[in-house]
Amino acid sequence: MDDWPFHPVMAMPGGYWVLDLTRPPVEGWEAPFPFTVGRYDESRPWMYSTPLFGGTRNVHIGLDLGGPEGTPVHAFADGRIHAVGFEEADGGYGSTIVTVHDVSLPADAHHPWAGRMRRLWALHGHLSRVDLERWKVGDDFTAGEVIGHLGGPHENGGWAPHVHLQLAVNTPNGIEMEGVVAPENREEALARHPDPRLVVGPLY
C-alpha cells in the first residue's frame, strides 16, 4: 500500500490476524501474530452481554485494531479534535477521542464519495485515560500524529487492548456514537457509518 493516501492508524510490525468474532474463540486460543483486526459489519451474537447493549445489539459497525497495551494510535489524515470524553458504562468505549477530517477518498474506492472531498468524523474508542489530558476540542493535528494509545481493561471499558475506529458522515453529539447496533437497524447504521477500510486500507 505504498501509494495509499492516508497514514496508517496503527503500525502492526510482525503481522496481524483477522479475527472471526461471529462465534466465541476456542478456550486457550491465542492469535499467531502480535496484532489483530476485528471486522466491520460483523454479527457477534455472543459478545455483548453487559446492560449497555440491551440484549439485542450485536452488529459491529466499526473496525477493531488490537495489539499490546500502549501501542500508539495515529491520525490517518490532518484534522482537528471534535470531542474528548470517557464512557463509564461497563463494556463501553472508556477513553474516547473523536476527530474530524476533510478528506478525498481514493478514486477507486468502492463508495459513492470516491474521488470527492468530504467531511468525516472518526471515533477512536478504548484509549488510554492519559490521552484525554493531551487534547481539547478544536485542537489541530497533522496526518501521522499520535492521537492516543491502546488502553488497558481498567480504562477502556473492560476490553482487551484495541482501538475501535468508527467513521461517521453526520456530526456526532460529543463522543456519542453507537458502535454496535441491533440487526434491524443495520442498514441504516451502515449508511451513516461507512467502512473504516476507506481510510485504513484493505486490511482484509
- pLDDT digit string, tens, across residues 48-61: 988 888 888 999 99
pLDDT tens-digit profile of 104-114?
A: 887 777 778 77
**Which pLDDT score is estimated for 103?**
94
Which range among 5-14, 25-34, 69-78 shows the weakest confidence by mean pLDDT?
25-34
The x, y and z cell numbers of residue 9, run together, are 492508524
Q: What is the pLDDT of residue 203?
A: 96
HSE of 43 in the Cβ direction (CA atoms, 13 Å)?
A: 8
Band the pLDDT of 1: cuts 50, 70, 90.
low
Domain coordinates in residue numbering, the chain: 16-200
CATH architecture of 16-200: Distorted Sandwich (2.70)
Mean pLDDT for the stretch of residues 90-110: 90
Alpha-carbon gap, residue 172 to 133, rounded angstroms = 21
Rounded to the nearest integer, the mean pLDDT of the chain is 94
Phi, psi of 140 (to 5 degrees): -95, 155
Q: What is the pLDDT of residues 180-199, one digit of tens each?
A: 999 999 999 999 999 999 99
